[in-house]
Amino acid sequence: MSRSINLAVIPGDGIGQEVVAQGLKVLNAVLPQDVKLETKEFDFGAKRYHATGETLTDADVQALKQHDAILLGAIGDPSVPSGVLERGFLLKLRFLFDHHVNLRPSKLLPGVATPLKGQPEIDFVVVREGTEGPYTGNGGSIRTGTPHEVATEVSVNTAFGVERVVRDAFARAQARPRKKLTLVHKNNVLTYAGHLWTNIFNEVAAEFPDVTTDYLHVDAATIFLVTQPERFDVIVTDNLFGDIITDLAAAVSGGIGVAASGNINPSGEFPSMFEPVHGSAPDIAGQGKADPTAAILSVALLLRHLGYETEAVRIEGAVSADLAERDSTTTRTTDRIGDALAVRVAS
């Protein structure tokens, strides 16, 4: 049987360019001979915006749609006003391709430094809703720019949107050894959305009797992510809470240099997009200082999503071994880390 992967590659801005090159290097090294990898690079980001004023056109969307998956570096640059690329490219694509499952695993690997005391066992996955909440652009302002400016940013929560992401999270929890799912919300204060989430969570729970359930308010969750991170297995939460707690999760489990994510369309109707959690890091861009590990682990998530479990595990094993042998006194360039991982996955 001949297999193929038709991959759209969006290096983007800043270190996105540097880390995606390493991700592709490792992808090429890990794939067996019989898998045909075809890549097409897209030039989205600040440069294209300055040259043409475009962020993501209809033709771009049509072209991206033809691919099995998308590998993204990072989009964003200080030369572009805040929000233009985030809304005009990143959020637009997540909405158009219905990336309603935003998957962010956190695992503290041996030898990796954490700001937490001791070496707590951290191995959990956050399933963040990706298409609703306060991120839909459902708001506006009046008397803008005056002392009487009024601004709204309304959180959108639909039974349909909540149920599908909650169901996905239950299935992911069921497939893991600990089978535990924690709902994170703020249902004591955000009562309308909170009740919708809580009720649907409890309804779906009845269909997964082997999954242990738990509930935490988001503020309490930030405490436990620091004091008792081992209590988490799978977390399901809304778009905004998920955005915030996954940065905290990354900080306690090895840092932004190793945090990977997937923007997933579970039905496969549109390509899913995999990217490091970090941004374009303009402060270190072009210097070979970026850690490509997060991008390389995103490639592992991409492979797992496409059914290449063996290859995903090989990448994760290589990263694990590489991290265990890293010592803090010598720093390797982006390229050298990529080379080392490419060698490990190939052998």
Active site residues: 135, 186, 219, 243, 247
Q: Closest distance between ligand NAI and the C-beta of residue 251, in Å?
A: 10
Q: Closest distance between Mg ion and the C-beta of residue 162, in Å?
A: 21
Q: Closest distance between ligand NAI and the C-beta of residue 146, in Å?
A: 28
Q: Which listed residue (70, 190, 204, 281) binds ligand NAI by CB under 6 A?
A: 281
86 binds ligand NAI (CB under 6 A): yes
Q: Which of residues 17-36 bind ligand NAI (CB under 6 A)?
A: 19
130 binds ligand NAI (CB under 6 A): no
Q: Closest distance between Mg ion and the C-beta of residue 279, in Å?
A: 8
Q: Which is nearer to ligand NAI, 194 or 276 (CB)?
A: 276
Task: Please state, in angstroms and rounded to a whole number, the distance separating the CA atoms of residues 92 and 219.
Answer: 29
Q: Which of residues 202-261 bind Mg ion (CB under 5 A)?
A: 243
196 binds ligand NAI (CB under 6 A): no
Q: What is the CA radius of gyration of the chain?
A: 20
Task: Please state, in angstroms and rounded to a whole number, the distance separating the CA atoms of residues 330 and 295.
Answer: 21
Q: Which listed residue (121, 203, 283, 309) binds ligand NAI by CB under 6 A?
A: 283
294 binds ligand NAI (CB under 6 A): yes
75 binds ligand NAI (CB under 6 A): yes
By beta carbon distance, the residue nearest Mg ion is 243
Q: Closest distance between ligand NAI and the C-beta of residue 213, in Å?
A: 30
Binding mask 285-304 for Mg ion (x = CB under 5 A): --------------------
Stretch that binds ligand NAI, among 32-40, 107-115, 120-128, 275-283 (CB under 6 A): 275-283
11 binds ligand NAI (CB under 6 A): no
HEC profile of the chain = CCEEEEEEEEEECCHHHHHHHHHHHHHHHHCCCCEEEEEEECCCCHHHHHHHCCCCCHHHHHHHHCCCEEEEEECCCCCCCCCHHHHHHHHHHHHHCCCCEEEEEEECCCCCCCCCCCCCCCEEEEEEECCCECCCCCEEEECCCCCCCEEEECCECCHHHHHHHHHHHHHHHHCCCCCEEEEEECCCCCHHHHHHHHHHHHHHHCCCCCCEEEEEEHHHHHHHHHHCHHHCCEEEECHHHHHHHHHHHHHHCCCHHHCEEEEECCCCCCCEEEEECCCCCCCCCCCCCCCCHHHHHHHHHHHHHCCCHHHHHHHHHHHHHHHHHCCCCCCCCHHHHHHHHHHHHHC
242 binds ligand NAI (CB under 6 A): no
User: Two tokens at 115?
Assistant: 């700001």
48 binds ligand NAI (CB under 6 A): no
Question: How far is the CA of 165 from the CAs of 162, 197, 235, 267, 346, in angstroms?
Answer: 5, 10, 11, 12, 36
280 binds ligand NAI (CB under 6 A): yes
Q: Closest distance between Mg ion and the C-beta of residue 251, in Å?
A: 12
Tell me the number of residues near ligand NAI by CB under 6 A.
Answer: 21
Q: Which listed residue (256, 266, 321, 333) binds ligand NAI by CB under 6 A?
A: 256
The contact set with Mg ion (CB under 5 A) reads 243
The contact set with ligand NAI (CB under 6 A) reads 15, 19, 74-77, 86, 90, 256-257, 275, 278-284, 290-291, 294
